[in-house]
Amino acid sequence: MRIKFWLEDTIARRFALTVVLSIVVAIGLAGIVTHFAGAWARPSARELGLADRADDIVRMVEMTPEQQRQVVLNAVANATFRVNWYPATSTLAATLNATPDLESYDALPEVMIEGRRRRIVRFTSVGPDKLLAELHFDRQTIPTAYFAAFQLRDASWVVFTAPGRFWGLGLPVRIALGLVLLIISIAAVSTVAMWQLARPIQEFTDAVRRFGTDPRAAPLSETGPREVRASMNAFNAMQAQIQRFVDDRTAMLAAISHDLRTPLTRMRLRGEFVEDEEQRARLFRDVDEMQAMVHSALAFFRDDYQAEETTTFDFAELLRTITGLQ
């Protein structure tokens, strides 16, 4: 019985489908955004542990003899990034020492060596030409590279190079983006669902209003959820019953009209034989008044009466006439 209830088109099922569709659309939008946003939709560098990994690598390099540092860094590099060590006497070290922190080129704001006093220079492939030249980096080959240079205690530098971004936005931003997508999906699906639900109700309201002025209006087409269709069916049954009542009333009034006018006609014929002219005139006047009353009543009940025409008049003059004032 419950399965049959949910298979029917009901208001409860429509609300349930609205919620389900909103969730499905939100997931679909999230998938589309994730697909087109690429790395930006992924967890942040801090959530991926890049800061801790960079900290471990820098600590390891500081504890390694200078002759073995680049070998160790080659061992820890992978497909996502590579690491190079530059001694304090190198040209790149001198360039980095003379380079500010380049906050405007900060592509890795989360990659910090917490609690350690050291310089960190962060830049991208659109960064200073001099730095890119010292790194022997061709920006045309890898136009989306990211760099983070960490200065060691001995004034040497460790430079991390990521060919592409593999970290994304922070958790608060991703949560906010998810909420926005959820709100958009709920608003879109709810608007469509409410329009489909409101349309038959509006048609029902229009039919009720139309029936108030035209009892012979056409029956309402039964559409919409089960509850709305049940109300429309009851309304159509009521409308049909009232129309039958109006038809029966019209037939009854026609019979009454015939029954009343027949004796009035006989009275007029008999009045022709009255010799007293004054009595005959009075009789005819009474018959005419009765016929006029019957005709007016029948016309009213048949809805054939004519609305009285509106006229303009001088209300003050009317009052003076009634009170006899001049």
Q: What is the pLDDT of residues 133-142, one digit of tens each?
A: 778 777 777 7
* The pLDDT value given to residue 121: 79
Instruction: Look at residue 56 in the predicted model and tell me its pLDDT.
Output: 84
CA 71 to chain centre: 59
Are 185 and 26 spatial neighbours (Cβ–Cβ below 8 Å)?
yes
What the chain holds in terms of domains, given with CATH numbers, is 2-41+171-205 (no CATH), 50-162 (no CATH), 218-301 (1.10.287.130)
What's at 67, amino acid-wise?
Q
pLDDT at 230: 82
pLDDT at res. 107: 45
Render pLDDT for 257-312 as a digit per residue (tens, 0 to 9). Answer: 767 777 777 777 777 777 777 777 777 787 788 777 777 766 766 654 444 556 67
| Category of 115 on φ-ψ map: left (φ > 0), alpha (ψ -120 to 50) or beta | left
Phi then psi dihedrals of residue 102, to 5 deg: 55, 55
- Give the pLDDT of residue 118: 67
Task: Report, as ranges of residue numbers, the positions in the chain whose pLDDT lies below 50.
Answer: 1, 104-114, 304-307
pLDDT recorded at residue 104: 42
Residues 92, 161 contacting (CB under 8 angstroms): no
